[in-house]
Amino acid sequence: MTTRQRIQDRQQRLATHLCVGLDPDPALMPPALEIEDFCVAVMEATAPFACAFKPNVAFFEACGWQGWKALEVVCQAARGLDVPLILDAKRGDIGSTARRYAEAILGRLGADALTVSPYLGADAVTPFLEYNKDALSYVLCATSNPSGIEFQGSSDEGEVSESRSSDRLSARAEDAPSAGPLYLRVARMAAGLSRSFGNVGLVVGATRPEAMAAVRNAAPGLAWLVPGVGAQGGDLAAVAQQGPGDVVFNVSRGILYARTDGEFAAAAAAAAKGWRDAFNDRR
């Protein structure tokens, strides 16, 4: 099965759209615990409630070569649990550099999916799509960070006001590919790549409910990875109601650090179940 099919299969079997984010911070973890042991314990505890795991590469890279080795252990653990692995790497380069990124993430680490930055255009995305046609590349579109709108909302007519209705933004999706706010131009580019490769998704932040309908209209049928739920205060109801049928929403800190003592794994499992159920209640 492709990565998207594997995610859909877990969503249907386990009634879950939750992705458990793995952002191990030694300052927040239980003391005297290695990051790979912490992450694997959380993964084993939350697997019954997760359709995917999402390690954030930065938290591992910050620990040097030991962090990279820990990331390899985490990736192996995901394969052992048969849970799809989305590597949050936000890579975005062209040519041989992008191909090497693809080899590292989809090859050496064996990730099933990754996040990709489209800032350099389609040339920065296609090497990942070509490397593994079963893997899924989630292209950064309307991100969850507050300042994302500074560029993503930019259009040929100047800044797009946050107060514009989703209906008006949706109408703009019918314009020429180069028109409209940047996040819709990215969505249309991703839709075009999907027609050629079929293994493209979008990152759409839960903090951007005003953009969701427009993105769906600009790129119908694409899978979504949705960060911003939990600590960032994203709108879970909007994600449940406006996201595609196989939308994946990510929670990291709200699960990882539900408790920071010896009961952290059990607390993580309880938090994961709570998030899964909260999403299902809003659909």
**Burial of residue 186 (number of CB atoms within 10 Å: 0-12, 13-18, 19+):** buried
> What is the overall mean pLDDT for the chain?
89
pLDDT attached to residue 149: 73
pLDDT attached to residue 163: 34
Q: In terms of residue numbers, what domain contains 193? A: 3-281
The percent of residues above 70 in pLDDT, for the chain, comes to 88
Please write the tens of the pLDDT for every residue from 103-139. Answer: 999 999 999 999 999 999 999 999 999 999 999 999 9
Cβ proximity of 273 and 49 under 8 Å: yes
- CATH code for the domain in which residue 170 is found: 3.20.20.70
DSSP 59-77: HHHTTHHHHHHHHHHHHHH
Q: What is the CA radius of gyration of the chain?
A: 18
- The model's pTM is 0.90
What is the CB-side half-sphere exposure of residue 134 using CA atoms within 13 A?
13
The residue behind tokens 């990215």 is: 186
pLDDT attached to residue 160: 36
pLDDT attached to residue 51: 98
Q: How far apart are CA 229 and CA 248, in angstroms?
A: 11
- Per-residue confidence at 50, pLDDT binned at 50, 70, 90? very high
Rounded to the nearest 10 degrees, how much is the dihedral formed by the CA atoms of 186, 192, 196, 202?
Answer: 40
* Alpha helices, H only, 105-248: 126-131, 149-152, 166-172, 182-197, 209-218, 236-242
Domain count, the chain: 1
Please write the tens of the pLDDT for every residue from 186-218. Answer: 999 999 999 999 999 999 998 888 889 999 999
Can you name the residues that pair with 248 across neighbouring β-strands? 225
Backbone angles phi, psi at 200, to 5 degrees: -115, 135
- The sign of the torsion formed by the CA atoms of 194, 207, 249, 165 equals negative
**Burial of residue 13 (number of CB atoms within 10 Å: 0-12, 13-18, 19+):** exposed
Question: Tell me, what DSSP letter sits at residue 183?
Answer: H
Q: How far apart are CA 219 and CA 221, in angstroms?
A: 6
Among this protein's residues, is 90 annotated catalytic? yes
Please write the tens of the pLDDT for every residue from 166-187. Answer: 333 333 334 345 567 889 999 9
pLDDT attached to residue 145: 66
Which of the residues 54, 69, 90, 133 is marked catalytic?
Answer: 90
More confident site: 226 or 173: 226
